Amino acid sequence: MNVAVLASGVGSNLQALLERVHGREGVSIVAVASDRVDAPALSRAREAGVACASFPVGRYRAREARDLAMAGWLVEREANLVVLAGYMALLSPSFLLRFPGRVINVHPALLPAFPGLGAVAQALAYGVKVFGVTVHFVDEGVDTGPVILQRAIELADAREPADVLARLQEIEHDLLPEAVTLIARGAVSLDPVNPRRVLIER
């Protein structure tokens, strides 16, 4: 399975994928793309010998044009799964149509609670005691696609987003590679009775 990774920032989840799944069980990371020309994730890709490119929206007439150009670049590299690993831009429907049911995202909350940006800050403001990470399929909504994997952690005394994010990042680095590995094995499917439910064969 050829995997493309989209990242906007440092790329710690990309690094976890490079270290834990790249070159194993038939998984190859073949491309890394970003909406930022200066994203450190691109440097990680170069160091690993993975093709990389940036697609800042200002270079195109509209966001959809950018997404189509990025999708075309990924198709040229024969990507058949797209992983959003800290990618901070919404993808247009035209991009998702190029990879139907083959785009996944990692989110620092237990969806459907606290979707969108600032999920941990939202959770802290709400006063929750249990935080978590979700890996889910991407649809046209904001963090509304079917849930693949989730893991929770109790942090009853948490006060600052940075403290929570540090703990959640450890979970992300486990959960995202696990999801990619399961998909590569063909162990992930949608329940024909309830397509919101993801079935996993262990």
Question: So which residues are the catalytic ones?
Answer: 107
Which among 95, 183, 198, 98 has a CA at the least distance from the CA of 145? Answer: 198
49 phi-psi bin (left φ>0, alpha ψ -120 to 50, beta other): left
Looking from the CA of 165 toward its CB, the CA atoms found within 13 Å total 12
Joined tokens for residue 19: 């270290």
Handedness of CA 94, 100, 106, 109 (dihedral sign): positive
Instruction: Look up residue 39 and give its two tokens.
Output: 């994203």
**Sign of the Cα pseudo-torsion (176, 113, 153, 166, in order):** positive
